[in-house]
Chain A
Amino acid sequence: MAKSQITLTVNGKKEEALVEPRTLLIHFLREQLNLTGPHIGCETTHCGACTIDLNGMSVKSCTMFAVQANGADIVTIEGMAAADGTLHALQEGFREMHGLQCGFCTPGMIMRAHRLLQENPSPTEEEIRFGIAGNLCRCTGYQNIVKAIQYAAAKLGGVPYREAAE
């Protein structure tokens, strides 16, 4: 099958590539751009491990073809820390609040939380749980993930978060 030329911005960097139309965006990111932060967990759009930020939306990159992302602006977990290596408040929050264990869901979870906080900078616990319901975690039971997001929300809002990880 003829390949298609696509041009897109990934983590602030312009990328041009040839892709087969059927190449899934997750495979394009992982195999062609070597961005292995987004993971493949379920392949049926349930687990959210492949979540990235695309044009200001949280997207499960296993359910989109790379050709559909032509022209898009994408951020993956690899694009979250500052250029000087300073961790994003969410990355810091996940560590401080013990919001991860095996780490497999973490990149997708953080990317989803990032968009959630853009849309709702100070969510309630209820809103966080509802907002991350497209991301499955098998290790943490979510309780500390909620805290990690609250930590980040507080930090981004300039308020220190006091509660410790359980």
Chain B
Amino acid sequence: MIPGSFAYHRPTSVSEAVLLLDSLGDEARALAGGHSLIPMMKLRLASPAHLIDLGGIGELRSLREEAGEIVIGAMTTQHELIGSQLLSAKIPILSETSLLIADPQVRYLGTIGGNVANGDPGNDLPAVMICLNATYDVTGKSGPRRIAARDFYQGAYFTALEPGEIVTAIRIPVPQAGHGYAYEKLKRKIGDYATAAAAVVLSMSGGKVVACSIGLTNVAETPLWAEEAAGIIVGSTLDAATVKKAVAAAEAITAPASDARGPAIYRTKMAGVMLARALARARQRAGA
């Protein structure tokens, strides 16, 4: 498994990277952690003539809170997400999810930007971003813009990014203090993509759910925002009948492929099971 030849570029600023991507056009690919792209190149499923390594751009490695948002530079690694005290305190679902991505070695290099931007429906963070209503800072030749995670994913490996654009940061509104959360992922083994996974963030008050958001991983060509299911949950005590209804609503929006992880019907049902379990665990964790 040997990649084809390419020219290597290592810009030191976002503007330089964007210029390169623009001038080199279709022949260029941006390289973040490389743990999706390099295996594809070794299999010759991708053969870019130019590789633009974003690893030298210091401004893409940051993690801070500003104006009610956590802003995470795109080249922040999953290992860094796991180790961040800020995230553990404010958005613990991110470290919970990151720990379920691939394996330790991959997490040292795998980045949040690569994970959310490449459009692989098997990636875990996109559904979490949809669940958290994150926004992506994007830059291209026509300047910066923002895209809501919920609008970003259009198909397998198809996203709202225009040619030459890169994700530079991920903005996540800080969830309400005391929120409950869970990412439940069913997989065959460490290192596998999800057979199905569900991200849940909810808030409780007086024994009732007052806010709820749900994302689903790898049960369609894109990560899914289970808006209707979340709506069913809001206002409930998470009683069995309501959960069952929400699970049915979530299952109804799935359209998984049959693969070695199981036939489509199984994966749909597992999305439901993961959702039910994520709801239960999120509830345990929620204050009040």
A residues engaging B (CB < 8 A)? 1-2, 4, 20-22, 24, 43-46, 48, 51, 57-60, 63-65, 67-68, 70, 112, 116, 130-134
- Asked whether, in the complex, the Cβ of B105 is within 8 Å of the Cβ of A112, the reply is yes
- Measured in the bound complex, the distance between the Cα atoms of B104 and A65 in whole Å is 19
Interface flag for B266 (CB, 8 Å)? no
Chain B, 36-69, CB within 8 A of any chain A CB: 38-39, 41-42, 51, 53, 55
List 13 A–B pairs whose Cβ atoms lie within 8 Å, in order of A's numbering. A2-B7, A22-B2, A43-B42, A45-B35, A45-B38, A46-B191, A51-B105, A58-B108, A63-B38, A63-B109, A64-B109, A112-B105, A133-B104
Chain A residues within an 8 Å CB radius of B232: none
In the complex the two chains form, is A68's CB within 8 Å of B5's CB?
no
Contact status B108-A63, CB under 8 Å: no
Are A63 and B34 within 8 A (Cβ)? yes
Within 8 A of A (CB), among B54-103: 55, 79, 102-103
Known: A68-B55, A133-B104. A57 touches B79 (CB 8 A): yes
User: Does residue B1 face the partner (Cβ distance < 8 Å to A)?
Assistant: yes
Known contacts: A68-B34, A68-B53. The answer to whether A134 contacts B1 by CB under 8 A is no
Q: How far is the CA of A138 from the CA of B165 in the complex (A)?
A: 43
Shortest Cβ-Cβ A-B pairs, 6 listed: A134-B103, A21-B8, A57-B108, A133-B190, A43-B1, A1-B5
A58 (CB) vs chain B CBs: closest residue: B105
When the two chains form their complex, are residues B53 and A134 in contact, meaning their CB atoms are under 8 A apart?
Answer: no
Partner of A21, one of B1, B5, B105: B5
**Least CB separation from B189: chain A residue:** A133
Interface residues of B (CB under 8 A from A): 1-8, 10, 31, 34-35, 38-39, 41-42, 51, 53, 55, 79, 102-106, 108-109, 190-191
Question: In the complex, what distance in Å separates the CA atom of A94 from the CA atom of B45?
Answer: 39
Task: Tell me which of A58, A67, A131 contacts B8 (CB under 8 A).
Answer: A67
Assuming the contacts A59-B108, A68-B34, A68-B55, asked whether A133 and B103 have C-beta atoms less than 8 A apart, the reply is: yes
Cα separation A63 to B3 with both chains bound (whole Å): 11
Measured in the bound complex, the distance between the Cα atoms of B213 and A38 in whole Å is 45
Q: Report yes or no: A63 in contact with B7, Cβ–Cβ below 8 A.
A: no
B3 touches A60 (CB 8 A): no
B41 proximity list for chain A (CB < 8 A): 22
Chain A residues within 8 Å of B34, by CB: 63-65, 68
Evaluate contact between A21 and B7: CB separation under 8 angstroms: yes
Residue in contact with A65 in the complex, picked from B8, B79, B102, B103, CB distance below 8 Å:
B8
Contact B5 A44 (CB under 8 A): no
**A14, B5: Cα distance in complex, Å:** 27
Given contacts A131-B104, A134-B104, contact A57 B6 (CB under 8 A): no
Question: Given A1-B7, A22-B3, is A60 in contact with B191 using a C-beta cutoff of 8 Å?
Answer: no
Known: A22-B3, A22-B6, A45-B35. 8 other contacts (CB 8 A): A1-B7, A44-B42, A57-B108, A64-B109, A70-B10, A131-B104, A133-B104, A134-B190
Provide the bound-state CA to CA distance between A68 and B37, in Å: 14
B103 and chain A: residue at smallest CB distance: A134
Residues in B whose Cβ lies below 8 Å from that of A67 = 8, 10, 53
Q: Contacts A68-B53, A68-B55, A133-B191 hold; do A58 and B104 have CB atoms under 8 A apart? A: yes
Roughly how many angstroms separate A46 CA and B55 CA in the complex, as a whole number?
22
Q: Which of B1, B6, B51, B105 contacts A59 (CB 8 A)?
A: B105
State the Cβ distance, A48 to closest chain B Cβ, in Å.
6
**Cα of A4 to Cα of B8 in the assembled complex, Å:** 9
Chain A residues near B104 (CB-CB < 8 A): 58, 112, 116, 131-134
Which residue of the partner chain, among B4, B79, B105, contacts A22 with CB atoms under 8 Å?
B4
B192 and chain A: residue at smallest CB distance: A46
The listed residue with most A CB atoms (<10 A of its CB), out of B2, B4, B102, B105, is B105
